[in-house]
Amino acid sequence: MLPISEKTIRSSFVNASRKEVTDLTLPTDLETLDWESLDFLGWRDPKTARRAYAVVPTIEGDLVGILFRQAEASPRARAQCSWCQDVKLPNDVVFYAAKRSGKAGRNGDTVETLVCQDFQCSRNVRRPVPPAYEGYDVEAARVRRIEDLQLRIASFAAEL
């Protein structure tokens, strides 16, 4: 992912009101992020409980900002992240809902997903996986996991 500015982040949101975009708290470390190892920018709002944001690139290369609300209930069993699909997660997975954009969102329609609580998906897919068998190409598997993550987040953004 290429570095993005505060203005670009704020203008990318498709499912948030102007007030919500104005009030959102941006990450404080934008200048020091390792953008090359990020497939999307995701963060939780430190001022508003159960609110999170993600800015994801689409297949066409545009950016889509998404406002999420975390469900109050948590999964009963250990859940798998829908985005990174890592089976050995070092973090919790939570249920997030995002309003659809436009009229559907104003009518209350949402899209839901299970995602790593603090959006660690980019880091999870880059972790080396143990070889499945002798001669298994670990690096090719890692690259495939990164590409799959990028496709899943772009597909989720397209549903809004």
State yes or no: pLDDT of 76 exceeds 90.
no
Nearest-10 Cα torsion for 132, 39, 112, 85: 10
| Residues contacting 39, CB < 8 A, separation 6+ | 1, 56, 57, 121, 122, 125, 146, 149, 150, 153
CA 108, distance to chain mean position in Å, is: 21
pTM of full prediction above 0.85: yes
CB-count exposure of residue 107 (10 Å: 0-12, 13-18, 19+): exposed
Amino acid symbol at 151: L
Q: Which of 122, 143, 125, 150 is nearest to 38 (CA)?
A: 122
Task: Give the Cα separation of 114 and 97 in Å (integer).
Answer: 9
Amino acid symbol at 47: K
Q: pLDDT digit string (tens) for 24-63?
A: 999 999 999 999 999 999 999 999 999 999 999 999 999 9
Between 51-55, 59-63, 103-107, 115-119, the lowest mean confidence (pLDDT) is in 103-107
Q: Residues 61-73: what's their mean pLDDT? A: 94
Name the 3-class secondary structure at 147: helix
